[in-house]
Amino acid sequence: MAKQKSAMICSNCGSEMNHHADKLIDPVKPEDLLQLNSQLGGVIEEIHCCPGCGAAASRRQNEGG
Amino acid sequence: MTESRPLNIPVILGTTRKGRMSEHAARFMAAQIEKRNEVKTELIDISRLPMPIDDAGEGIKDPVFSEKMTMADALVIVTPEYNHSFPGLLKHVLDSCLKEYIHKAAGIVGVSAGPFGGVRAIQDFLPVIRELGLVNIFWDVNFGNVSKVFDESGKLLDEAFAARADKFLNELVWMAKTLRYGRDNIALES
């Protein structure tokens, strides 16, 4: 369970969020092409959940590092 | 496991058609959820959502609907069967969110005027549920011949549906609790 990037902080309650999923997204916007993972064939969206309040948040895999 | 928050399981009424009998099914399911301790619900009627049709996907995300999906632990999706599938506007609404759904439970309730209880709509729906990141349970509730299941006021005429809904909700609550624990506590391997 290695964490390679900084944890997201919940904007609702300030708790550290848990990165529990990566979702492959089809590139639909021009800026998506700049973040394309050519090996996986799309853009990776990291999905995070707040154990404190249940809020969800996401970021592109190459953000927030 | 974080138990300080009650489970939140909204019911999505997935049709905008006038005279829809699915509304009776959706209200029945919401009432069944309300009977449970530590589970809250609300009825989300897609006909009440401000969804433009000159764009699609997350470009038309409604902040109120997005917040409801964010705070949901599971969804009960009530879909009629129109021409052997689910309504296009239901998918239009669901497509407006993504991160909000990931690793949350979903149960589908099918409604049809004929005898099959929306089974073809449900079968069509499963790949969509999967791609949205939802986790579908193996129980459905099938309201076939729906005009014989509810009267015009929405009163349930066949009590067997109470037992069917109970089994469906038992499984959905289990899955919702399990997935909440995972979302809150289990980090993705990397």
Q: Please state, in angstroms and rounded to a whole number, the distance separating the CA atoms of residues B9 and B115.
A: 28
pLDDT at A64: 47
**B4 — pLDDT class (breaks 50, 70, 90):** confident
Amino acid sitting at position B89: L
Residue B100 buriedness (CB in 10 A; 0-12 / 13-18 / 19+): buried
pLDDT at B129: 98
Region B123-139: mean pLDDT is: 98
Residue B41 has pLDDT above 80, yes or no: yes
How do A43-49 and A18-25 pair as beta strands?
A: antiparallel
What's domain B7-185's architecture?
A: 3-Layer(aba) Sandwich (3.40)
Whether B188 and A55 lie within 8 Å, measured CB to CB: no
Interface of A with B in 41-60 (CB under 8 A): 45, 47, 49-51, 53-58
Is residue B73 within 8 A of residue B180, CB to CB? The reply is yes
More confident residue, B144 or A30: B144
**To probe the interface with B, which of A22, A23, A32, A44 has the most B CB atoms within 10 Å?**
A23
Answering whether pTM is above 0.80, one says yes
pLDDT at B16: 97
**To probe the interface with A, which of B184, B185, B189 has the most A CB atoms within 10 Å?**
B184
Is residue A49 within 8 A of residue B183, CB to CB? The reply is yes
Residue of B nearest to A56 (CA): B70
User: Percent of chain B at pLDDT above 90?
Assistant: 97
